[in-house]
Amino acid sequence: MRPTSVPEATLEEKQRLFAEVQGDIRFPEYLKGCYECGICVAACPSARFYNFSPRRITQAVARQDVELVWEQMNGEVWDCSQCFSCLRCPRGNNPGGVITILREVAVRNGLRSAKEALEGYGRIIYKIMGSGTQVSPDMIQPEAFPDWGPDTREVSANLELWRKALPPETLHTTSVSWDVAEKTLTELYLIWHMTGVLDMIKGIDVNLHTILGDVMEDLLEEQGYSV
């Protein structure tokens, strides 16, 4: 969900974050220029439902408009569904990829927008790290997913009824999940450590980071790794 307001920041801070975006190893591959043709907007599902435009973001970044990019990092970028339909850009850009970099910089720097946008996902991250699996139906609660619309309220209120009508896989809950091999979990934990994902989480949610650290360290030590 898009955060509601843009916080104050100095020009130097905005320039520093923009330099971090430009310094990303993927940046030259993702942004080569912009014809302003709008094909990315026509292909974009989020543009259909929100006041959102991958063209606007791509142009702001290409023009090095640090003020506008700061605004977008604190709002628009969180409306992207990361579907990458915009890869059909005739200039060879990857607008969704540019947005990914903007989001990652926001997360790494602990921007309030990142904290607000990711607030509802703490339980999902914990679930993945704890069991190697993703969302189970009992996690779909309206307060955790306020932007998923009225269906969330309806599903959570009548979960038992829905389960009678839907396939057996939906019977998974947060306490009954798929059986994931320890080797798979170990690999997952090591990847999160080595790619810096855990450090990113620390900047966003310290409590979640502590819990994840405890869960992961035990297993990694059992497997002979020191983290």
Q: Is 43 in the site for ligand SF4 (CB under 6 A)?
A: yes
Written as six digits, the tokens of 114 are 């990142």
For the chain, the distance separating the N- and C-terminal CA atoms, rounded to the nearest angstrom, is: 34
Answer yes or no whether residue 34 interacts with ligand SF4 by CB under 6 A: yes
Angle at 1 between CA 25 and CA 28, to 5 degrees: 15
Of 95 and 132, the one with the shorter C-beta distance to ligand SF4 is: 95
155 interacts with ligand SF4 by CB under 6 A: no
Q: Does residue 51 bind ligand SF4 (CB under 6 A)?
A: no
Rule CB under 6 A: is residue 81 a binding residue for ligand SF4? yes
Nearer residue to ligand SF4 within complex by CB, 64 or 82: 82
| Shorter beta-carbon distance to ligand SF4: residue 82 or 158 | 82
Under the criterion CB under 6 A, does residue 35 sit at the interface with ligand SF4?
A: yes
* CB-nearer residue toward ligand SF4: 69 or 86: 86
Among 9-17, 70-78, 80-88, 191-199, the segment contacting ligand SF4 (CB under 6 A): 80-88
User: Which region, judged by CB under 6 A, interacts with ligand SF4, from 54-62, 117-125, 167-175, 216-224?
Assistant: 54-62
- Return residues touching ligand SF4 (CB under 6 A): 34-40, 43-46, 54-55, 58, 80-86, 89-91, 93, 95-96, 99
